[in-house]
Structure 1
Amino acid sequence: MRTKTQWILPVLFATALALLLQHFLGSIAWAGLLAVITWPLHQRMLRRGWPPLASAAFMLILLIVSFVGPSVLLFHTLSSELASLQRLLISFNQTGVPVPAWLTGLPLVAEPAVTWWLEHLAVPGGLNALVRTTLGDFMPHLTDTARVWGSTILANALYLFLTLLTLFVLYLHGAAVMHYIDGAGQRLAPVQYAKLRRVLPLSVRGTALGLGSIAILEGIVLGVAYWIAGAPAPVLLGVITGYLALIPGGAPLSFTMVSLLLFGQGNSAEALGLFTWGAVELFLVDKFIRPKLIGKRVNLPFLAVLFGLLGGVSTLGVIGLFVGPLMMAILFGWLRDSTPAAPLVLTPVALEPLNDPQGIR
């Protein structure tokens, strides 16, 4: 009875604490995940004689540069591409946009589509008038969206600051934090906590290695494919693809949209080739490379990794990419530990185990 009642107060307190910190649990979780992923590098620097404060500051700067660097490249390339796009739109507005050849070949809708194009886009100044009319219709919605996005950006900036601050404190006092967590876990559930303590670092680091390496690989490979196919701004599209590849379904969305862009420009062969190559590359990555990189470190089968990733991201968002494989690793760890060391051997007649009692566990 004492074993059951001793859980009541900790569970009630944990529930109340979760309700109190519900808006900041994401920041705490991200800080913990980043600390677990980068902890070996931090420990290596400490063993080489770095002061804890210097090591924590360096790790924080390294993480910021790792995330900000590609973003700066993305925005720089995006600004150049937007400037080129602006010059192109000004030219089209002055001369009119000619009717593309592929539009005349569309079945059923070719004639009304060409007529609309000639009335609105082929005439000088038609593009400017169309943009003004469209923006006028959507201006109230754009204003509301901008207001929501503004508050969302401010909230996310606060969460990012809290994440970095928590991560810095974990670098400085991670050993003391783990001492208290280990003590609480051993008092409440020593066996289960020992399994979790063993599986969690392997699962989180394996997932980070798999997601990061696959995102970089897909960004480079598909970026080269965009360049070969003649897509505009292949570097920019490759960086966007790399970011989207962190999320299941992001990479196929990226190369599908680029394929549609090429098809809209009249490059049907290049569009078909890019889509085919993207589908083959995605199949190889998602079915073989990604599960091997993630499941290899935690000894998980292919389907467990796949459903852990998909279920985690569909339920919890990006952070579910780490939580899903972790829960699968815990599940399979419990299943392996609860499996009898020697299975029962049944006779075909009496359906009884063998006489050796030592073989039954």
Structure 2
Amino acid sequence: MIDPQQATPRPDAPAVEDPATMPFPLISDISAARWLLVFIIAAAIYFFHGFLVPVLAATIIAFASWPLSRSVQRALGIDRTATAALFVLVIVLFLVVPVTMALLYAFRELQQWIYWVFEVNANGAATPLWMVDLPQIGDWIDEQWMRHIGRPGAIADLVQLTSGNTIASIYRSVLAAGNVAFHLALNLLFMLIALFVFYRDGDKIAGQIDIIGARILPRRWERLSRVVPLTISATVTGMTLIAMGEGVILGIAYWIAGVPSPVTLGVITGIMALIPGGAPLCFTLVSIYLVASGSPLAGVLLFLWGAIELFIVDKTIRPVLVGGPVKMPFLPTFFGLVGGVKTMGIVGLFVGPVLMALLVAIWREWLREIRTHPQTP
């Protein structure tokens, strides 16, 4: 009987190299895999960066409404697909449609302002009497008005000085808003599709993210995975939704008080309400305008309406919704708002403040951990 160790190897059998004689690899397998992963992620970001804004918006909405969606699913006894379809439909009816209608109406009012600007630039306009009658500063305002606005061509010179563009180029940009609206509609469609997927498969996606996050940050991921959802929910509920509500309520008050362009001013108030102190500034300026233009009673009542509404929101509604006021510093909130609009358009109004709130929350969490467990030398 032939000993297996003495058997002659087959000619077609692959030769087994001695590990000691194998060449030393320039890059280890682990390093090569990591660099390959980085390359794939970078390529994916490059090719799909156009979908980043709608996916971020869908992620924020899904985070904020996830507990409610699970509660509705259990109460109605329906599956995840039906729950996802129901919530997407609710968001379209009660969020997308009202916001779109308000923006369209505000754009129509802005067109009237633009036509007025072109008419004044062509023919000039006298200083409003209520400005001239202001004590102490009426004459100075009249002089500045006639220098920068009142004479023909003054507005074009002012626009050229401040922005570097001609008034005609700005008007052409306004006329090209149709392309912006089409791009916004595409982003909205992609956001709704991503939101449906998140509602339906959110559990699986969250589980996979937890596995990878625990691998990357083994000591901090458990705490961060709790901070991030709570921060997103508190920011969306305590800042975005309440700001939209303040814009609606104060916009109705503007309309009742007889303020010109109440929808546009309501939209501006809602945007400014995202910034601490923005809403009081808006309704105070509008109240001053009413008083100065000969409607003192309407101005005083509008100011009282805004002050009472702000007190009720800050002392009752906001603590009930988020368990306490959302304490965000002014500067991060302002940068999040302006930076979000600059990089993401109208969607950045909601995405920017949330991202800054996450950054501030993670910063505070790390500071708390350092203070609780200081490193010993």
TM > 0.5:
yes
- Map of 2:25 onto structure 1: none
- Map of 1:46 onto structure 2: 73
Q: Does 2:361 correspond to 1:329?
A: yes
Query: 1:58 Cα shift?
Result: 0.7
Q: Distance in 2 between matches of 1:337 and 1:183?
A: 22
Query: 1:296 Cα shift?
Result: 5.4
In the alignment, is the contact (CA less than 8 A) between 1:291 and 1:305 conserved in 2?
no
Q: Distance in 2 between matches of 1:59 and 1:320?
A: 23
> 1:325 aligns to what SS in structure 2?
helix
Query: 1:250 Cα shift?
Result: 4.8
Moved more, 39-48 or 166-175: 39-48
- Map of 1:338 onto structure 2: 370
- Map of 2:340 onto structure 1: 316
- Map of 1:161 onto structure 2: 189
Q: Distance in 1 between matches of 2:82 and 2:35?
A: 42
> 1:191 aligns to what SS in structure 2?
coil
- Larger of the two Rg values belongs to structure: 2
CA 1:223–1:195 in 2, change beyond 3 Å: closer, same or farther? same
In the alignment, is the contact (CA less than 8 A) between 2:337 and 2:353 conserved in 1?
yes
CA 1:200–1:100 in 2, change beyond 3 Å: closer, same or farther? closer
Match for 2:219 among 168, 172, 191?
Answer: 191
Q: Distance in 1 between matches of 2:219 and 2:43?
A: 25
Query: 1:337 Cα shift?
Result: 2.2
Equivalent positions of 1:1-361 (< 5 A) are 8-47=35-74, 48-68=76-96, 70-71=98-99, 74=102, 101-102=129-130, 105=133, 106-107=138-139, 141-147=170-176, 149-212=177-240, 214-215=242-243, 218-219=246-247, 222=250, 226=254, 231=259, 238=266, 241-242=269-270, 244-247=272-275, 250-252=278-280, 254-256=282-284, 258-259=286-287, 261-263=289-291, 265-267=293-295, 271=299, 302=327, 305-317=329-341, 318=349, 319-340=351-372
> 1:266 aligns to what SS in structure 2?
coil
Q: Distance in 2 between matches of 1:21 and 1:254?
A: 39
Query: 1:330 Cα shift?
Result: 1.4
In the alignment, is the contact (CA less than 8 A) between 1:219 and 1:241 conserved in 2?
yes
CA 1:189–1:60 in 2, change beyond 3 Å: closer, same or farther? same
In the alignment, is the contact (CA less than 8 A) between 1:222 and 1:238 conserved in 2?
yes
In the alignment, is the contact (CA less than 8 A) between 2:276 and 2:330 conserved in 1?
no
> 2:220 aligns to what SS in structure 1?
helix
Deviation by residue 1:144-168 (Cα, 9 ceiling, x = unmatched): 4312x22211111111111111111
Query: 1:322 Cα shift?
Result: 0.7
Q: Distance in 2 between matches of 1:173 and 1:200?
A: 19
In the alignment, is the contact (CA less than 8 A) between 1:74 and 1:239 conserved in 2?
yes
Q: Distance in 2 between matches of 1:294 and 1:312?
A: 22
> 2:77 aligns to what SS in structure 1?
coil
Q: Distance in 2 between matches of 1:12 and 1:312?
A: 29
Q: Distance in 2 between matches of 1:215 and 1:179?
A: 33
Q: Distance in 1 between matches of 2:145 and 2:57?
A: 50
Query: 1:30 Cα shift?
Result: 0.7
One-letter amino acid of the counterpart of residue 34, structure 1 = I
Task: Return 5+ residue gaps in structure 1 as ranges.
Answer: 86-96, 121-136, 345-359
Deviation by residue 1:211-264 (Cα, 9 ceiling, x = unmatched): 145325634664576478554576885566345424556525632552354256
In the alignment, is the contact (CA less than 8 A) between 2:106 and 2:267 conserved in 1?
no
Q: Which has the higher contact order (CA 8 A, sep 6+)?
A: 2
Q: Distance in 2 between matches of 1:270 and 1:99?
A: 23
Task: Return 5+ residue gaps in structure 2 as ranges.
Answer: 1-27, 114-124, 153-165, 342-348
